[in-house]
Structure formats: structure tokens, C-alpha cells
């Protein structure tokens, strides 16, 4: 009977010292053959099982030597109940592995006398398991029992929506995970976070941060490398989160990054400098928010690109009336900050700040910017009189939080309750 190879050893396996003692006992038995007549010694060097050496034999069928708390091929095993394995007929359990179809191994503990084993962690709900048990009889011969069973499906699921959608983005785009139910307890958060797997080629240092009890963001210490490939998947399916709640399915994400595009808009010099992979490719005059409507300072991630947007004074409660159709609009915040064409303020661009919070430029420059950047690229405003861009609640301000504080929002990196709560959502209306 073949058995599955092991890629991980659950708690409860015999220690190397214990195995060494057994090998020594077998070695003594083998040495006894040397004291026998020469003809016996020669027979011991032969092939096959004629030597009587139990280690030279194929494992015996240990079905009758092992008792399991569930029947083979069962389809309704309660995942909340521990899995138990007990030896019969005086045989000893040498190893026990219970793993689901995705390779997740159930932790377990083997008794000191090797007569019983029980799981120490919960089984996944709605999962197919293979139980592989190794035994040893009183003569030292190895045996094995392998059986399959399926656990009962869960009635309540913790579903997770991963983002962004598959595609190519700028180097500032964070990964996101939105949960269908709140998770507040630290141990539960750690379980969720460990099940959200991020792989980046080339590799980067990164961390999850709990925005609130239902939302997580993941970002590297610095921007993603240009032309990287990032995959995000969830292994939450079937995992017990808390009593009655198990992880659900999630669609994986495959994200690539393009060139490193970073635009710096200086409200003091009234110029925007755009760099591609560290090289300046364009500098243009701009205007930003005037007194009372100051543009936010800080790093912003491009959210969308909209060829045409209608902007009105009513949308932000401005006292001076306007109702304008705006072309080549690149959105930076949920509250309505854009980089866009502003032909009516060309005379002020490079001279003074006259907008209601947006970054205005000529139609020609706005079209060039629109066609150059993509979602996830970086726009950083400096030297404005506005408030600092919030990390959360108004688009992707993740990069405005320093790395130490960001990591403090991880349940895995730090053993304490985490999550600072999302900032109050700003108005979802455009500004000019």
C-alpha cells in the first residue's frame, strides 16, 4: 500500500531521539546474527524477505491495528470534533498525518507511549481529508493505514473579496482584502492574515495592515518594483475562524506593475515634474487649491482616468458658482481631487493657486498626463497649505504612513489587537 509523502510534520511525531533508540534496538537484533554460524550470516546478506528482517518487508496492512474516531469514506464528519487515532493489538503508532486536498496539515499530539494520537487544531469545514497512519508491531515490522473522509460543510462563511482586479497598475497600487463579516479578536485576525498569501517577483518586504475590522491593505516598505508580478490568493476556505464561522472562497488576483511613474506637484513653485523610472520626462506649470480650498499635502495613488467629468460648485458647497465640463480628468481622491485640463486658468498656471482643490493645467498638458499615467501611479503634492492626505478613507493614502506604524497594524507582526479604524469617508464629489 502506497502512502502520501509528507511536506510538513504535525506536532506529535516521534522525536529523532526516540527513533534513534528504536534503530539501536533493531541494530542489536541485526548484530546478533553475526554470532550465529556462518551459514546463517550468509543468509542474512541475501535479497528478499528470507532474512526475516522486519525492515526488509513491505508495510503490513494496519487497518485492524488502528482505530479511528470516524469511519472511512464518511462525508459528514463534524469539523468541531477532534480527530482521534488509537492503536489495537499492542501495536505502536509511529506517525500520523491528516491533511486536506490543498495540503494543509492538521496539528496533532502523539501520546508518550505511542498508543494514541489526537488533533490539537480544528479541521476545515467542507474539506476532503486523507489520514495516513504508520505503526510498528511487537516484532518491529512497520505497518500503515490510509483512509479518506470529508467534513461537513459550514453554514456561515467569511467571504473575502481581493483587489485590485487582474491587470497592470502603477507601482503605488496596494493590495486589498474586504471581509464579509467583521473580525476583531487578535487570534482570529492572525488566522485570516496568514491565509492571505502574497507573492512578488522580484521579492519585496511587505505587510498587511488592518484598516478596520473588515478591511485590510497590503503594501511593500517602499513602492513596488517596476515590471513586477504580484499574486494574491486566499487559503481561508473551510478554515474555522470562530464558532460557527468558516472561511469561504475567494477569487485570486494577479497584478503586474508598469514603469515607475511618479509625479510631484509643488504648490509653491507651481510646477509638476513627472519622472519615469527615475528620469524626468516632463515639467509643466500648474495651479492648485486657493485659500479655503487648499489641496491636500502628501502622496496619492491614481484611482481612475475619466475623459470627461462635470464639476459644479454645489458638489463641494463652494460659495462662488461654477458648472464646468472638464476634460482629461485623472482622479486622485474619493472626495474629488483631480489632475485635469483647466483652459480657463492658463494665465494663472505657474503663477498663482486658483482652483477649488484640483491640480489644473493646460488641456494639452492634461491630455499628455492622462495618456502617460495609469491607475496606481503616484502623484505627490508638496508645499500646499492643505491638510495631510489621510492614509485611509479617501482613496489610497497608504504611503503617507511610515513603515513602523504600518507594520503595527498587522496581526502577525505584532502580538496585540490591531487596526486603527478607517478615517471618516470624505464626500464623494469632484472638486475643481
Most confidently modeled of 5-9, 64-68, 319-323? 64-68
How would residue 175 be classed by pLDDT, with cut points 50, 70 and 90? very high
Residue 2 confidence (pLDDT) above 60: no
Q: Which residues pair with 250 in a beta bridge?
A: none
Report in angstroms the alpha-carbon separations of 60 from 20, 144, 237, 405: 22, 6, 36, 57
| Closest C-alpha to 262, from 218, 226, 227 | 226
Q: Are 431 and 338 in contact (CB under 8 A)?
A: yes
Residue 24 confidence (pLDDT) above 50: no
Say which of 209, 217, 358, 381 is annotated catalytic: 358
d(CA 250, CA 354) in angstroms, rounded, equals: 46
Residues whose CB is less than 8 angstroms from the CB of residue 391 and which lie 6 or more positions away in sequence, other chains included: 397, 398, 400, 401, 423
Three-state SS string over 79-110 comes to CCCCCEEEECCCCEEEEEEEEECCCCECCEEE
- Output the DSSP codes for 362-381: -HHHHHHHHHH--TT-EEEE
Residue 32 confidence (pLDDT) above 60: no
Handedness of CA 242, 245, 248, 252 (dihedral sign): negative
Q: Are 12 and 105 in contact (CB under 8 A)?
A: no
d(CA 132, CA 283) in angstroms, rounded, equals: 66
| Closest C-alpha to 126, from 103, 93, 154 | 154
For residue 305, what pLDDT is reported? 98
Q: What is the mean pLDDT of residues 146-169?
A: 95
Q: Are 93 and 13 in contact (CB under 8 A)?
A: no
Report in angstroms the alpha-carbon separations of 223 from 44, 175, 258: 66, 12, 12
Residues whose CB is less than 8 angstroms from the CB of residue 25 and which lie 6 or more positions away in sequence, other chains included: 140
Residue 73 confidence (pLDDT) above 80: yes
Average pLDDT, the chain: 85
Task: Average the pLDDT over each of 66-80, 132-146, 402-416 and give the range with the smallest value.
Answer: 402-416
Q: Please write the tens of the pLDDT for every residue from 209-234.
A: 999 999 999 999 999 999 999 999 99
Say which of 217, 340, 356, 381 is annotated catalytic: 340
How would residue 52 be classed by pLDDT, with cut points 50, 70 and 90? low
For residue 325, what pLDDT is reported? 86
Residue 340 confidence (pLDDT) above 90: yes
Q: Please write the tens of the pLDDT for every residue from 302-336.
A: 999 999 998 876 555 555 656 788 999 999 999 99
> Of 361 and 31, which is predicted with more confidence?
361
d(CA 94, CA 18) in angstroms, rounded, equals: 10
Q: Are 236 and 160 in contact (CB under 8 A)?
A: yes
Strand order in the sheet with 108-110: 66-68, 84-87, 116-119, 108-110
For residue 135, what pLDDT is reported? 96
Question: Percent of the chain at pLDDT above 90?
Answer: 74
Residue 4 confidence (pLDDT) above 60: no
d(CA 93, CA 96) in angstroms, rounded, equals: 7
The domain over range 261-401 is classified in CATH as 2.40.440.10: yes
d(CA 110, CA 330) in angstroms, rounded, equals: 61
Residues whose CB is less than 8 angstroms from the CB of residue 72 and which lie 6 or more positions away in sequence, other chains included: 147, 148, 149
Q: How many CA atoms lie within 13 A of 302 on its CB side?
A: 27
> Of 210 and 37, which is predicted with more confidence?
210
d(CA 93, CA 115) in angstroms, rounded, equals: 6
CB atoms within 10 A of CB 283: 14
Q: Are 183 and 213 in contact (CB under 8 A)?
A: yes
| Closest C-alpha to 293, from 135, 122, 432 | 432
Domain with CATH 2.60.40.3710 in the chain: 157-257
Note the CATH architecture for domain 157-257: Sandwich (2.60)
For residue 271, what pLDDT is reported? 98
Answer yes or no: 340 catalytic.
yes
Q: Are 252 and 231 in contact (CB under 8 A)?
A: yes
Residue 1 confidence (pLDDT) above 90: no
Q: CA angle, corner 254, sides to 248 and 256, nearest 5?
A: 155
d(CA 267, CA 381) in angstroms, rounded, equals: 7
Spell out the CATH class of 16-150: mainly beta
Q: Please write the tens of the pLDDT for every residue from 250-305.
A: 999 999 999 999 999 999 999 999 999 999 999 999 999 999 899 999 999 999 99
Residue 177 confidence (pLDDT) above 70: yes
d(CA 369, CA 361) in angstroms, rounded, equals: 10
d(CA 105, CA 339) in angstroms, rounded, equals: 51
Distance of CA 400 to the CA centre of its chain: 22
Main-chain phi, psi angles of 369, to 5 degrees: -65, -45
Domain with CATH 2.60.40.3780 in the chain: 16-150
pTM of the model: 0.74
For residue 94, what pLDDT is reported? 95
Q: Quote the DSSP letter at residue 180.
A: S
For residue 315, what pLDDT is reported? 58
For residue 310, what pLDDT is reported? 87
For residue 196, what pLDDT is reported? 97
For residue 312, what pLDDT is reported? 72
Amino acid at each position: 500500500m502506497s502512502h502520501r509523502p509528507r511536506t510538513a510534520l504535525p506536532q506529535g511525531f516521534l522525536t529523532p531521539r526516540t527513533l534513534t533508540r528504536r534503530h539501536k534496538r533493531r541494530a542489536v537484533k541485526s548484530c546478533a546474527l553475526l554470532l550465529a554460524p556462518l551459514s546463517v550470516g550468509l543468509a542474512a546478506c541475501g535479497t528478499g524477505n528470507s532474512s526475516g528482517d522486519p525492515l526488509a518487508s513491505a508495510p503490513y496492512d494496519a487497518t485492524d491495528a488502528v482505530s479511528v474516531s470516524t469511519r472511512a469514506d464518511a462525508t459528514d464528519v463534524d469539523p468541531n470534533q477532534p480527530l482521534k487515532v488509537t492503536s489495537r493489538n499492542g501495536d505502536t503508532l509511529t506517525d500520523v498525518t491528516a491533511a486536506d486536498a490543498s495540503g494543509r496539515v492538521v496539528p496533532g499530539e502523539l501520546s508518550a507511549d505511542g498508543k494514541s494520537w489526537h488533533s490539537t487544531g480544528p479541521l476545515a469545514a467542507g474539506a476532503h481529508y486523507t489520514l495516513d497512519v504508520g505503526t510498528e508491531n511487537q516484532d518491529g515490522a512497520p505497518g500503515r493505514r490510509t483512509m479518506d473522509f470529508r467534513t461537513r460543510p459550514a453554514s456561515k462563511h467569511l467571504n473575502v473579496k481581493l483587489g485590485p482586479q487582474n491587470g497592470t497598475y502603477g507601482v503605488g497600487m496596494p493590495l486589498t482584502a474586504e471581509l464579509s463579516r467583521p473580525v476583531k479578536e487578535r487570534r482570529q485576525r492572525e488566522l485570516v492574515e496568514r491565509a492571505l498569501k502574497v507573492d512578488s517577483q522580484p521579492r519585496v518586504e511587505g505587510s498587511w495592515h488592518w484598516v478596520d475590522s473588515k478591511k485590510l491593505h497590503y503594501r511593500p516598505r517602499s513602492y513596488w518594483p517596476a515590471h513586477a508580478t504580484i499574486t494574491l490568493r486566499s487559503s481561508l476556505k473551510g478554515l474555522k475562524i470562530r464558532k460557527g464561522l468558516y472561511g469561504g472562497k475567494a477569487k485570486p488576483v494577479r497584478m503586474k506593475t508598469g514603469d515607475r511613474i511618479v509625479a510631484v506637484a509643488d504648490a509653491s513653485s507651481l510646477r509638476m515634474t513627472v519622472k519615469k523610472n527615475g528620469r524626468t520626462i516632463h515639467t509643466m506649470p500648474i495651479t492648485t487649491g486657493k485659500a479655503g480650498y487648499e489641496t491636500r499635502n502628501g502622496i496619492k495613488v491614481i484611482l481612475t482616468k475619466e475623459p470627461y467629468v462635470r464639476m459644479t460648485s454645489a458638489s463641494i458647497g463652494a460659495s462662488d458658482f461654477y458648472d464646468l465640463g472638464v476634460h482629461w480628468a485623472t482622479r486622485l481622491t474619493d472626495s474629488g481631487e483631480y489632475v485635469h485640463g483647466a483652459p480657463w486658468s492658463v494665465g494663472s498656471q505657474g503663477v498663482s493657486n486658483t482652483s477649488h482643490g484640483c491640480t489644473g493645467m493646460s488641456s494639452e498638458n492634461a491630455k499628455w498626463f492622462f495618456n502617460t499615467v495609469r491607475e496606481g501611479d503616484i502623484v505627490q503634492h508638496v508645499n500646499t497649505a492643505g491638510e495631510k492626505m489621510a492614509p485611509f478613507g479617501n482613496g489610497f493614502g497608504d504611503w503617507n504612513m511610515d513603515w513602523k506604524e504600518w507594520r503595527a497594524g498587522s496581526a502577525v507582526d505584532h502580538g496585540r489587537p490591531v487596526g486603527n479604524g478607517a478615517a471618516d469617508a470624505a464626500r464623494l464629489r469632484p472638486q475643481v
